[in-house]
Amino acid sequence: MSNLKHVAVVGATGAVGVEMLRCLEQRNFPVGQLTLLASARSAGKTMKFKGEDVTIKELTPESFAGVDIALFSAGGGISRDFAPHAVKAGAVVVDNSSFFRQDPTVPLVVPEINAADAKNHQGIIANPNCTTAISLMALYPLHQAFGVKRIFASSYQAVSGTGAQAIEELANQSREWAAENRAWDAAKLDSKPHVYPHQIAFNAIPHVDSFLDSGYTKEEMKMENEGRKIMHHPDFRASVTCVRIPVFRAHSIAISAEFEKPVSVEAARDVLSKAPGLDVLDDPANKQYPLALDIAGRDNCAVGRLRVDCALDNGLAFWVVGDQLLKGAALNAVQIAECLV
């Protein structure tokens, strides 16, 4: 590859695609040529990149001629159908969907953790699930120091993790409630939800992704399955409950982790303060801890509420927050691309 790269963004008009363009620009990625790909209904429209209008093209199997790096964020079906065409044309695919993550021939990469794995690609590199990536930004440094055995976690996931229509649904439901001047305890609306199975405004829905026969959802199992692969830790265990909440942007995860070695709050804080891509915000006496509103739009994740877990041996409880459109998706994909240049 030359210094300047021909980069394609598949799903350029989606929430993650927009953030990919912003990350490429803000991080001064060496883009020599940019191809924006989307569905036929978006073809012909333009998007800005470095002040210039770039025309969106329809995604076809022939879209990847001359492309060096293809950033995919258009769903598993698109990745399944079009990533092989990109690889055949000579591009390296960085895929944001779940389709290739458990393929043993495809590296699953968080650059702060296992950047070296990206070098072993066979044309495709997978981007992890957003909740997994954010959680591991805090968990992996602790694992290096103390040896994680298992975690119990609950996620509090923003609607932007579902996409633009979910953002609109939360906004519309909130406006509907306010416009009708309802009492605080009359929060259940008459309108029917379209994106989620239940009203998301003023609610918490313990249902992210589809349910498995075990009773867990696919999203909940990603923490264990992807965590094992990224950390090279086949014995890692995770029991997770994923919850969708009425927050627009940034996921939050409460984690209780059990380690092989004893862990103190002071030792954990020292480890976490040195971790790349992670800020420690842990001063509860002064009401300082990571908040979704504050972390939204930031590249770094943040960790706080550190305390010895009172129910686990060698346990530590903590709260980690990250922008799932950035570290959970677009930023991580661009960082993976940076490993290739």
Q: What is the pLDDT of residues 59-75, one digit of tens each?
A: 999 999 999 999 999 99
**Residue 1: pLDDT over 70:** no
d(CA 141, CA 159): 28
Q: What is the pLDDT of residue 302?
A: 98
**Residue 285, token pair as written in the block:** 């006496």
Is the per-residue pLDDT at 95 higher than 70? yes
Maximum C-alpha span of the chain: 62
Q: What is the pLDDT of residues 33-47, one digit of tens each?
A: 999 999 999 999 999
Return the active site residues. 130, 251
Residues linked to residue 338 through DSSP beta bridges, in sequence order: none
Residue 320 counted as an annotated binding residue: no
Average pLDDT for residues 3-11, to the nearest whole number?
Answer: 96
H or E stretch covering 231: helix 218-231
- The pLDDT value recorded for residue 164 is 87
16 among annotated binding-site residues: yes
Query: For the residues 83-90, what does the mean pLDDT come to?
Result: 98
> Would you state the structure tokens that stand for residue 13, as one six-digit string?
């008009």
Residue 71 bridge partners (DSSP): 9, 94
User: Does the annotation flag 44 for ligand binding?
Assistant: no
E-state strands within 28-111: 31-38, 46-49, 52-58, 69-72, 92-95
* Confidence band, pLDDT 50/70/90 cuts, at residue 10: very high
User: pLDDT (tens digit, 9 = 90+) per residue, 123-177?
Assistant: 999 999 999 999 999 999 999 999 999 999 999 999 999 988 999 999 999 999 9
Q: Known binder of ligand: residue 22?
A: no
